Structure 1
């Protein structure tokens, strides 16, 4: 039914093609096209000259960037999205239509971890009050949307072994918990953490699960976060250049040891950080 409704929409708003994985060649700014749960769909858009189209997934605005004369929508696909068709709403020239995104299935591996502090697995009532308060703040940061055009050619924020990949289905002390929503870099306490791209410090704080944390706003709903830090070197509102130090790695919050947890959010959903890194040759 959904496919028929999309095909029958009149007028035809845009000649829009969903890029297949790897079809965007020579791209410098755009992330890799990964139309899977937890991935990023890179959707080329045709729009009238000089008019930037707008896009949204459900109620969430979606990043639209211009690269080499093309408009591209960068769509974060939630981890719980089933394989199938996902409708992207696109507005241009006063018209609105839907573009289908074909989401491929992906199964992530299981990871089992032992956490020393049992309250980080089963919080007590006081912890639950704190977690609820902090969840509201963190959710707001993840869903923040600003008009600035983002820099999307990222650098790894810390040099080290990639110890836990995005999307792992996690068990803490034998109990199932939410999937891993970031990329862990195995570095020691005190290791400098650098901004992967230019942005503005959106939020800093010490939180129950993530410890000392920094959020960067890169624009258009592209948000990054740096968690479990031993030290924070920036303040909310600071304008940050690519490569600038944000703080130092540590073991604060729910951890099994010192490391950097790096998270990337698009249109309010956690996505694969490695999609924004240049592929290794």
Structure 2
């Protein structure tokens, strides 16, 4: 603590008396936000040190998507959601500091093998009619704009509470096979619960979308800041509207069995830099 305070003072961010006072921990000092568990694998979160800087640096993927940057002038850290489809190997992000200089930061993505799940669902939700395909494409384009949300400020909390009690019925990353046909891996966590069970916000956030979608059924999206979003699907009812601000633990909806499902449950998704990542990384161990 003393070293951090003196370094801040040397950067002109604390006066020396303030630095000396800060050297004695105060019980009133708030604890830092608990960051997600690091996992440099497809579907995981990389925690990359950006080093010191007087102001928060800007960080982006190579594709130009802004990244969540947290920390303080002693050390800033970029949190990078890694897409499930990413091949293991070398990757990098780009960082720009206050003087406009840009530099790459490289990291390595390790392989991870996810399990497979075979499900039987209504044939019309696998082989879509022309009308259903057109509806899906409209909804996909709309949700792409929702997923591009990046708001300030960055979140103050990162450790999430589970939005509904229940058994985890399907984990993130499972390769889904519907009626014998392979589809995209599971992009969230399924929690089995009875229809009508309240769904609670895991973090403070703002409602940025609600709707009834072909695959996801009743759906709510929350924006927590800095490109961190959460999604709740298959809802039987929605108790919020776009623009509502919620605190941790506030009710937003109720569990249901709408959309493409085999029974009542909550599909809970966590998105970081427009990438679905494993919600378990944001939960207490």
Give the TM bin, normalised by the shorter chain.
0.7 to 0.9
Q: Deviations over 1:218-242 (max 9, x none)?
A: 0111010000000000000001101
2:260 counterpart of 1:254: yes
Cα RMSD (Å): 1.4
Counterpart of 1:104 (choices 103, 110, 113) is 110
Paired residue for 2:144? 139
Paired residue for 1:15? none
Paired residue for 2:159? 153
2:124 counterpart of 1:119: yes
2:189 counterpart of 1:188: no
Q: Deviations over 1:114-152 (max 9, x none)?
A: 11x211111100001100100011111122111221121
Structure 1 residues 155 and 83, CA, compared in 2 at 3 Å: closer, same or farther?
A: same
Partner Cα separation in structure 2 for residue 86 and residue 157 of structure 1: 33
Q: Any idea what SS the aligned residue of 1:33 has?
A: coil
Paired residue for 2:243? 237
Q: Which moved more, 1:90-99 or 1:60-69?
A: 60-69
Partner Cα separation in structure 2 for residue 268 and residue 69 of structure 1: 28
Could you tell me whether the CA contact under 8 Å between 1:47 and 1:53 is conserved in 2? no
Q: Deviations over 1:58-87 (max 9, x none)?
A: 221111122796422110001111111111
2:86 counterpart of 1:81: yes
2:65 counterpart of 1:54: no
Partner Cα separation in structure 2 for residue 254 and residue 248 of structure 1: 17
Could you tell me whether the CA contact under 8 Å between 2:238 and 2:252 is conserved in 1? yes
Partner Cα separation in structure 2 for residue 225 and residue 204 of structure 1: 10
Could you tell me whether the CA contact under 8 Å between 1:202 and 1:237 is conserved in 2? yes
Paired residue for 1:177? 183
Paired residue for 1:6? none
Partner Cα separation in structure 2 for residue 112 and residue 243 of structure 1: 33
Could you tell me whether the CA contact under 8 Å between 2:168 and 2:189 is conserved in 1? yes
Q: Deviations over 1:249-280 (max 9, x none)?
A: 0000000000000001111111000000010x
Paired residue for 2:274? 268
Paired residue for 2:21? none
Could you tell me whether the CA contact under 8 Å between 2:52 and 2:75 is conserved in 1? no
Aligned residues: 252
Structure 1 residues 216 and 69, CA, compared in 2 at 3 Å: closer, same or farther?
A: farther
Q: Any idea what SS the aligned residue of 2:145 has?
A: helix
Paired residue for 2:96? 91
Partner Cα separation in structure 1 for residue 195 and residue 232 of structure 2: 14
2:161 counterpart of 1:162: no
Q: Could you state the TM-score of these two structures normalised by the residue count of structure 1?
A: 0.87
Could you tell me whether the CA contact under 8 Å between 2:199 and 2:251 is conserved in 1? yes
Could you tell me whether the CA contact under 8 Å between 2:269 and 2:276 is conserved in 1? yes
Give the unaligned 5+ runs of structure 1.
Answer: 1-25
Question: What is the deviation of 1:101?
Answer: 1.6
Could you tell me whether the CA contact under 8 Å between 1:47 and 1:92 is conserved in 2? no
Partner Cα separation in structure 2 for residue 264 and residue 182 of structure 1: 7
Partner Cα separation in structure 1 for residue 107 and residue 192 of structure 2: 35
Mapping of residues 214-229 of structure 1, within 5 Å: 214-229=220-235
Give the unaligned 5+ runs of structure 2.
Answer: 1-30
In the TM superposition, structure 1's runs of 4+ consecutive aligned residues that sit over 4 Å from their partners are none
